[in-house]
Every structure is written in structure tokens, then in C-alpha cells.
Amino acid sequence: MELVSQHAKKIMEGCKERARDMGLSFQDESLEYIVTNRDFLQLSPKNMIPTLYDYWVQDVEVLKEQGQYELYPNNPYETVINTRPPISYYNDNNPDWLNVMIFYHVIGHIDFFQNNLYFRHTWDYDFAGKALADKRLLAKLRSEKGRWVDYIIEFSRAIDNLVGYFDLLASFTTEKKKLSRLDYYFDVFLQQKQDRTIAGYVAEIERYNKFTRDFPKEGEKRFLETVQLKHAEFTSLYSKAVRERAKGNRLDILQFLMEHSPFLNREENKWMLMVIEVIRSTSLYFQPQIRTKILNEGWASYWHENLFLNDDRISGHEVDFAVINAKVTSMPRVGLNPYALGMRLFYYLESQAENGKISYDYQRIADQEARRHYRAASGTGSGSGRDFIFFVRENFCDSMFINTFIDQEFVDLHRLFVTDKRLNKERMTWEYYVKSKKAKHYKQMIADSLYHPPAVTVTVDDDNALILNHLFEGKPLYRDYIEGTLLGLEFLWGAKVSLYTHEAELKKREPPQPPRAEGLEGKITWKRMRYTMKNRKMSRVVID
Amino acid sequence: MKTKLQTLYHSLKEQGLTPEQDRKIRYELDLLELDGDHRYIPEPAVRDIYSYRDMEMLHDASPPKLMALTTVQSLDYLLEKDKQREKDGFPRKIRVGKMVKPSLTGDDKVVIVPTTVEEKLLHDRVRFNEEGEGEGEGQGAEEGGSGEGEEGEVIGEQPVRPEQGGQGGAGQGEGGGHDVESNAYDLGRILTEQFELPNLKDKGKKKSLTKYTYDLTDKNRGFGQILDKKSTLRRIIQTNIALGRVQARGTIDSKKLLIAPRDRVYRILSKEKDYESQAVVFFVRDYSGSMGGKPTELVVNQHVLIYSWLIYQYKNQVETRFVLHDTEAKEVKNFQTYYNSTVAGGTQVASAYSLVNKIVEDESLERDNNIYVFHGTDGDDWDSKGDKALPQLEKMLTYASRVGITIAENGYGISGQTEVERYIRKSGLLEEKKNLLRLDVIAPDTNETRLIKGIRELIS
């Protein structure tokens, strides 16, 4: 790995200036390296972070079957990494014009990393430096504890996709408001009462409203006094809730283990906590990337196209550019290209906002003709489209982006559709056919293919067993991996571990019918299962 | 061929078939119908959002396709580590996966790819894996698309049964990442050492591994069959120099030389080891219609492993023969063909057994060789009672050192109820000739560890 030549660097500095003029914002310094294929092979298992800790799995091919990415969601390794300064990688034989194009794409990513709020937690430090410290720590521990360090890494990594990323983000944005008695009464206390009914709840609200009407000055106080009279335990429960809230956010599984595991907190095992924390913080750093793939690539593609075509220094290479750009940003016949989709959405939003169409007035119009000729009444116009997409790049992630902005107009504009496979028995082929051209279905299809790790809560029962509860979202867990994961958890917890989850079962099945003449809906029932790992033996039972 | 099969089917039908058998046979016949001239609208290439990468899209080179021969750790190191895991009470994680035979010529080339998975709690889609009909990747796999086309219009097709070779076979290893090149001998060593497959115990007991020829090659002093004059003369001169009877630069009077009895060097008849091929292995595989997909893959993978193990055990002195069968059997010349041959018509196990018997007889292989026969099938047999197959099998057992039958169930029928399994169990040969005949039944979702365990069953 070596730095790019001074010549290339000079061109890139020119790119930065042009990008700034267009309103992109990013730090001044950046590092560009030439990588060989050999470098690349060593970097890719480390997500392109050269200083990431060593782990034996990086030396082995991790099984990835084609079309199984939902099973093995990998962080996309990019040509640029989100460090301070950002580091980007180039082939050594790129011509200048290609380097300019790539660098504009890179600038798009850097701008995104440094402004999108989903990356908020990575803004205050340089990950490459932190990773190096972690790597040295693990190397030192390895020299003392040997292979056990790798076991701890393995077991922690087994649950590192369940880190409390959103809890961490929340801690940046929401200020801590003190829990008021009234809020506690209505939001928590009433709803946890045994004999709660909706009617009763509404009656309580009505009673409260009556108090505020009758006693405008001290309605709330009087109301709470009646509550106190009725429920003697209210005050003590309230202060307990306040104390708990002050303690901080929910803990994710790794934090929970670090805090509560009797095994990890034994004196001789304290070093494991350091390893787990390394894994956890590394995972948190990588979380936003995979959740902003479409946005990030769309944004970078939007900018490399705009900036490149306006760069006077490389005119004459438009055709070369067009070849590569078409490869990157064309919509495939079947499949989802995040570059193409994201870029089109940004262009679409820009023009919609420019014409004042991102507004309630416009959304209300049902008449197609009127929609086509819509012009905003008030003074929207030049520049507001740009502003709007900058707002989107700052505040959105993929799922919000897709959910909010894909509408029928967009789907029609780019002739998008949902395809599916069906069995043609005559010809014995799988047919790909256009299933739907409705925006609703298209949106749903993308939503289904977005990265979405399971939500798992953690508690301890009276038996000192660790209880994991997989919150049901209409998807089962991948069964083959449960055993390995629970095995590691049992080790870290030091006692029995149970996992509750749902599994699908076919209602009826007639072998040897080829599978599924129609969709699965209505043909499956969900069963709640309990997996228990005890003394490294797993058992599986249906509970209802 | 089709008409022949049809007649066979009808004659079988007259003899009486259960509806179950009838269905299976017709299924295979149907599949046969499908082969041949068929035009497809090309199947679209489908990629997932997260499979797009900057490196590949923007830079012209696409490094991820490289074969990495740069693994930091050797395979032995990784496996040693994995063994230690087992000692520490955790299950093994390294799989010595994906064996590929890349070349048509270099016959014992196998590529070992150490692979592993990182187990996490992940969402899965609801999937019910029905064998043969696409890899569980059926409907519900919605994808995005763009361009022309009205709702309901077909925009691409993919044959349910891919032409073999492209899929599931040799193709998969290509473009994979970290490969460790190795040959079958190494794989055999790894299997023996790391996975503790047994060493051959009865080497030379039944039929010696090494055969001996007698030759006049050894030298002996004092007595023997033929006097070696040149060596004898040399010894005599040495003796006389030692005695001081021969001077440098002086003339030598041969009459005055003393001859000690032990100076006479003779050639003597002696035993010589002869490393001709010591074992002949027949790999026999059912390639009938019902074998498509998973069963074929399993059987072939297991055969690669067995082959490698034997190569190691016999120190490369193994001759392999490959036999494919449907209703008729044929010998193919190399593993490549054996591995990749396309699925064809119906199933008659007897045809293969009799071909093996014929080859052995014609070439009198049993005189000088240990003979192993490994047969992989999905357990279907049109000859459902084994009337023809069993006599052939018994004949085979008279000369073979081991016959190993692997039944890879195709999931159409009921587990443990395949014809081949039934008639072999019923025949009692498994108990009677326990040392010679082994049977291993594997389910469609078998993994490699299970395959290796199966080999232990078959060969120990």
C-alpha cells in the first residue's frame, strides 16, 4: 500500500474544491492509497480497515452462497472508509479521468459519512486509530491467554449483530427529560395494571380533563392526590421508575452479559470484558453502513455524475465516462442495483421538490392531468430541489428513504416492477414473470430485501438462566445457526441459556408436489419454540 | 432409447407395480421427455442490493474474483486448531469443503477450500426445502425489475434441472476466494489424520498389498546361484592389495593372486517388491433422472473423499474405474465425466453390478488386486425386489475387499423405504457378509461431517 502520486493528489484536491462549491461538506484531509490485488485480498475480510484486529475466520473463506445474502449480511466493503481522515483505495493503473470519477464518488461517500445522522456516533473519533489500539490489545491478550481469546471473539461476534445501535443513536438526539408523575401514571402505571381496560383508561383521561376544567390552576395536583389516595403504592413505584430511567438506556445482549454475567465478572475472567467491548464497539461502528446502502451509493452516484460532467479539466473523456457510468448506474432487468435506484430517487426527489410537488397540496390531487400540470402556487423554484435532497441525505436511512419516497409516479417513470418465479410444469422451468407494477408492492419487495437483524430482548429468570426473547416479526430465525450462537452465549453467561422464537410449519403438505403452487400465505402456522442450551447440549421444544 | 424404456416400463407394469413405484418410474420417464430440444428465454441474472460493491463497479478490475493463494495460515494449522477446539469441548468449525476436479487430464487434482460459517441469530425466510425442485429458492423470492413488460408477462426462464456440470458440480468452486491447492493424496492424509478415518487394518491379510517377484538381483558372498565375475575379481584385488601382494605400478601375475572363499560374489535369487497398482476401485453411480441435484452432489462428494482416502492409504497405488448406470451401465474414462454426466433415463442397479463383474472377470483383476466397489444411488430401482441385482451383488462379494453402497435419499419417498435399501436389508447380506458389504443411508440435507462419518461406516 502506498500513497497516490503527487500528480494524482493534485487533481483530487481540485475535485474537492469543485465539490465544496456545489455545497458538499467534508473535512479537508483525506488519504488515498494505491492497492494491489494482494493488498485487497488482505483488506477485504477486514472490511477495508487496515488496522482491524486479527481473527482466524479472516483467513478462511466464509461460506456465502449465491442469492443468500439475507443469510450472510456482510458489510459492504467500499472503496472509501469512514475514518478521520477518510481513506480511499485506487488501482495503480487507473487513468486520470477514471481517478477523477472515482474520487468524485468517494467525495460523495465522505460527505455522506460526515453528515448523515445515522453515522453520528462515528464523528468524534478516528476508527483506524481505535482499531489499531484494539488490535494491539487483542494481540497482547493472545500472547497471555492463547486460543481462549479467539473463543471469546467468536462468541461475542455471534451476537454482535444485535448490538444496541439505535439506543446509542437515541442517546445523541433525545435530551433526558425527567419523567413526570402524570406521564408515569398514564404511560406506565395505568397500562401495567392488572385489570386494565380501554374504557377504564379513557375514563381516567376524562376524569383528569374534568379536574383541569374545574380547577384551572391546580387541576393536575388535585388529580394526582386522588390517584395517591386510591393507589398507595404509586409514589414508591414512581420513584423507582425515575431511578431506573436515570441509570440509562436499555442494555443490549453484550452489555447485559458484561454487566450481569457472574462468569465474566470473576476476577480471573475480567480480561474477557475487554475483548467483548472491542467486538461490541467495532460492530457499532459498522452498523450504519449496511443500513444506508441505497442512500449512500445513490448519493455518491448522483454526485460523481454531476461533478464529473461539470469538470472542465477532463473534457474529452465523456465517452469513456459514459461506459463506466452506465455499468454502475443502469437498472438491471431483474434485481436491485442500489447505485441506480438511489441515484434515480435523488434525481426524482430533486425535480419533485423543485416543482413544489413534495407538498400536501400536491399529494391531495387525484386527477392525473392536474398532477402533470401542477405548479406550486407559492415561490418554490430554483435551488429548493437541491436543498431538499441535502435534507434527505442528512436525515434518512434506507428503510425510511424507500418507505417515504417511492410512489406510483416514480415506479411508472422508471418502469419498475416486481418479478417473481413460478413453476411451469409443462416446460419444467422456473419462469420469471412481472408480478406487479404497483408502487405498494415494489416498496414492500425492497423493504423485505433490506438488512433487518432480529430484535432480541434479554432477561434472567429465577433459575439464573439467561432468557432471550426473539420478538416476532413474521420471520423465523435461521435454524442451523441457533445452536452455535447459544453455545457461545452459554459459555459467556456461565449457566443455562434459553431462546424463545417462532417457527413456521406447513399446515398440510402433499409430497411430492412441486413446492408452492401459490404464495405461502394461509398455508403456514406459527409455533412458538424454546431452545435451551445447557451443558453444551441443545434441546428444542414447542411451547404452544 | 425412449421406446426401449417405454417397453421396459410396460413389461414391468404387467408384472404389477405398486402405485408408488409406478409414480416414480413415470416421473423419471417424464424427465427424460424434457431433455432435448427446448428453447428457453434466457434466465435473468439476479443480484442482491448488498452484493454490489464500489471496488467492482467503479474500478475496472474486479478483485473479488481472484483466487487467493495467499492464506496466512496453512490448512494443517487451521485443522490443528480445529482439533484443539474439539478438545476444549466446542464443535469443529472448519469444513474442508468444495472439492473440485478442475482438469480433464491431471487426474488426482482436488482443490481444498477451507470454509466456515459465522453463526449468528439471523432472520430467515420461510422455506420448505423440497428436493430437486430448485434449491429451496422457490416462489416468494421476489425481485425488483425494470423495463418493458406488462403484469403477468414472462421475462425469463430457468430450467428446473440445470444441465449438470454448470451447477452443483465443478462450477461452484470457481471464483471462490481462498483456496488451498492440494491433491487427492493430501486430502486423504487430512482425512486420515485430522478426521481420524481409520487406517486400513487388514493390509496384506486377505490379499497382500505388495506382490513379490523373484529376481537374481541380490549379491551374496561365498555361495549362490551365479558367479558375478566382475565383482569377484574386484574383491580378489582388494584382498591382495591388503596382503601386499599387488604393488602399485608393478605388473600383476594373476596366477599368484590368493583367493579367499569369501571373495567369491554370487548373484542370488531374491524376493522383490513390485509396486504395480495394488487396489482397483470401482466408483459406480446411478445417474438416472431421479438423481438430479442433491443426491448426485452428495454421492459424488463422498466418492471424492473415499477416492482421496484410498490414494493415501495405498500410497498412490490405486487404479480407479468409473461406471455410470441408468437402465444400462457404461464405463467412463475419467472422473470429470463421471462427476459431470447429465442425468438420463430410468434405473436398474443390476446393470451396473453385472458390468463391474464383467470387467473384473475379463481383465482378471481379482488375481493381483484388492478390489473395492463404491456404489452411490438414490435407492430407486425399477427392479424393485432386486431379483437381478442381488445375484450380481453376491457374485461381486466373492472377490471384492469391500462393497460400499451409499443411498442418498432424494426425498420423494419415505425415508428408509427405498427399494435398494429394502431388498439389500431383506437379503441378509449385510449381516452375512458384514466384513464385505456396507450400507450408508444419507438424507438430502447431509453436510460434510456426516459424509465423512459415512465413509467411516463404509470402510472401517
Digit-coded pLDDT (tens) for A74-85? 444 568 899 999
Which chain A residue has its CA at the smallest distance from B130's CA?
A515
- Identify which of B342, B28, B314 has the alpha carbon closest to the alpha carbon of residue B163: B342
Cβ-Cβ contacts under 8 Å between A and B: the total is 340
* Cβ contact, residue pair A61, B114, below 8 Å: yes
Domain boundaries of chain B, sorted by first residue: 211-274, 279-459
Query: Across all residues in chain B, what is the average pLDDT?
Result: 71
Predicted confidence at residue B60, as pLDDT, reads 59
pLDDT digits (tens, 9 = 90+) for A4-45: 999 999 999 999 999 999 999 999 999 999 987 777 777 777
* Cβ contact, residue pair A40, B141, below 8 Å: no
Q: Is 0.90 surpassed by the pTM of this model?
A: no
Predicted confidence at residue B43, as pLDDT, reads 66
Predicted confidence at residue A23, as pLDDT, reads 92
- Judging contacts by C-beta atoms under 8 Å, the chain B residues touching residue A63 are 95, 97, 115-117
* Cβ contact, residue pair A40, B55, below 8 Å: yes
Which chain B residue has its CA at the smallest distance from A525's CA?
B126
Q: Which of A268-277, A353-362, A516-525, B116-125 has the lowest mean pLDDT?
A: A516-525
pLDDT of B169 above 50: no
Contact yes or no for A404/A447 (Cβ under 8 A): no
Percentage of the residues of chain B whose pLDDT score is greater than 90: 0
In which residue are the cell numbers 455499468 written? A327
Mean pLDDT over B75-104 rounds to 72
pLDDT of A508 above 90: no
Report how far Cα B188 is from the mean position of its chain's Cα atoms. Answer: 11
Contact yes or no for B459/B306 (Cβ under 8 A): yes
Q: What is each CA distance from A307 to A4, A107, A172, in whole angstroms?
A: 21, 10, 33
Choice between A317 and B103, residue whose per-residue pLDDT is larger: A317
Mean pLDDT over B349-372 rounds to 83
CA distance B15 to B23: 15
Q: Where does the pLDDT of residue B222 fall: very low under 50, low under 70, confident under 90, or very high at 90 and above?
A: confident
pLDDT digits (tens, 9 = 90+) for B398-425: 888 888 888 888 766 666 677 888 888 8
Predicted confidence at residue B178, as pLDDT, reads 31
Mean pLDDT over B187-192 rounds to 70
Predicted confidence at residue B124, as pLDDT, reads 79
* Cβ contact, residue pair A161, B66, below 8 Å: no
Predicted confidence at residue B157, as pLDDT, reads 77
- Bin A335: left if φ > 0, else alpha if -120 < ψ < 50, else beta: left
Give the dihedral of Cα atoms A508, A511, A516, A518; nearest 10 deg.
-60
CA distance A305 to A307: 6
- Judging contacts by C-beta atoms under 8 Å, the chain A residues touching residue B75 are none
B408 to chain A, minimum CA–CA distance in Å?
17
Predicted confidence at residue A411, as pLDDT, reads 93
Mean pLDDT over B188-203 rounds to 60
Contact yes or no for A140/A271 (Cβ under 8 A): no
Cβ-proximal residues to A23 (8 Å cutoff; 6+ apart), any chain: A386, A390
A109 to chain B, minimum CA–CA distance in Å?
11
Q: Where does the pLDDT of residue A288 fall: very low under 50, low under 70, confident under 90, or very high at 90 and above?
A: very high
Residue B119 burial (10 A CB sphere; 0-12, 13-18, 19+) = buried
B168 to chain A, minimum CA–CA distance in Å?
11
Contact yes or no for B52/A340 (Cβ under 8 A): no
Grid cell, residue A97, equals: 479521468
Mean pLDDT over A354-358 rounds to 85
Q: Which of A249-258, B289-298, B327-336, B355-364 has the lowest mean pLDDT?
A: B289-298
A436 to chain B, minimum CA–CA distance in Å?
6
Grid cell, residue A333, equals: 432487468
CA distance B450 to B457: 10
Choice between B232 and B66, residue whose per-residue pLDDT is larger: B232
A74 to chain B, minimum CA–CA distance in Å?
8
- Judging contacts by C-beta atoms under 8 Å, the chain A residues touching residue B156 are 333-334, 431-432
Choice between A30 and B4, residue whose per-residue pLDDT is larger: A30
Q: Which CATH number fits domain B279-459: 2.40.10.120, 3.65.10.10, 3.20.20.480, 3.40.50.410?
A: 3.40.50.410
Q: Which residues of A40-63 are buried (b: 16+ CB within 10 A; e: fewer)?
A: bbbbbbbbbbbbbbebbbbbbbeb
pLDDT of A514 above 60: no
Predicted confidence at residue B399, as pLDDT, reads 84
Mean pLDDT over A105-109 rounds to 94
Closest CB to A57: pick one of B66, B118, B141: B118
* Cβ contact, residue pair B124, A475, below 8 Å: yes
pLDDT of B110 above 70: no
CA distance A309 to A40: 30
Give the dihedral of Cα atoms A337, A343, A349, A351; nearest 10 deg.
-130
- Judging contacts by C-beta atoms under 8 Å, the chain B residues touching residue A512 are 23, 27, 130, 411-412
CA distance A494 to A487: 10
Query: Across all residues in chain A, what is the average pLDDT?
Result: 85
When scoring A434, A466, A521, A524 by the number of chain B Cβ atoms within 10 A, the one with the most, hence best to mutate, is A434
* Cβ contact, residue pair A475, B46, below 8 Å: no
* Cβ contact, residue pair A79, B155, below 8 Å: no
Predicted confidence at residue B401, as pLDDT, reads 81
Predicted confidence at residue B197, as pLDDT, reads 60
Question: What SS3 state is found at B404?
Answer: strand
Q: Which residues of B224-238 are buried (b: 16+ CB within 10 A; e: fewer)?
A: beeebeebbeebbee
* Cβ contact, residue pair A448, B89, below 8 Å: no
Predicted confidence at residue A271, as pLDDT, reads 94
* Cβ contact, residue pair A536, B89, below 8 Å: yes
* Cβ contact, residue pair A519, B160, below 8 Å: no
In which residue are the cell numbers 459424509 written? B451
Q: Where does the pLDDT of residue A485 fall: very low under 50, low under 70, confident under 90, or very high at 90 and above?
A: very high
Choice between B437 and A144, residue whose per-residue pLDDT is larger: A144
CA distance A264 to A269: 5
B312 to chain A, minimum CA–CA distance in Å?
25
- Judging contacts by C-beta atoms under 8 Å, the chain B residues touching residue A470 are 121
Q: Where does the pLDDT of residue B42 fall: very low under 50, low under 70, confident under 90, or very high at 90 and above?
A: low
- Bin B196: left if φ > 0, else alpha if -120 < ψ < 50, else beta: left
Mean pLDDT over A329-338 rounds to 87
pLDDT digits (tens, 9 = 90+) for B115-167: 777 888 888 777 654 433 333 344 456 778 888 778 888 887 776 654 433 33
A126 to chain B, minimum CA–CA distance in Å?
22
* Cβ contact, residue pair A454, B49, below 8 Å: no
Percentage of the residues of chain A whose pLDDT score is greater than 90: 45
B159 to chain A, minimum CA–CA distance in Å?
4
pLDDT digits (tens, 9 = 90+) for A237-247: 888 888 777 66
Predicted confidence at residue B288, as pLDDT, reads 78
Which residue type is seen at A54? D
Q: What is the largest CA-CA distance in chain B?
A: 114
pLDDT of B181 above 50: no
Mean pLDDT over B370-394 rounds to 83
When scoring B27, B28, B73, B119 by the number of chain A Cβ atoms within 10 A, the one with the most, hence best to mutate, is B119
pLDDT of A148 above 80: yes
When scoring A1, A47, A63 by the number of chain B Cβ atoms within 10 A, the one with the most, hence best to mutate, is A63
Q: Which of B52-61, B149-158, B235-244, B332-341 has the lowest mean pLDDT?
A: B52-61
pLDDT of A132 above 60: yes
* Cβ contact, residue pair B126, A475, below 8 Å: yes
Q: Where does the pLDDT of residue A313 fall: very low under 50, low under 70, confident under 90, or very high at 90 and above?
A: confident
* Cβ contact, residue pair A419, B142, below 8 Å: yes
- Judging contacts by C-beta atoms under 8 Å, the chain B residues touching residue A57 are 116, 118
Predicted confidence at residue B93, as pLDDT, reads 81
Which chain B residue has its CA at the smallest distance from A321's CA?
B58
Highest mean pLDDT among A37-41, A189-193, B207-211, B235-239: B235-239
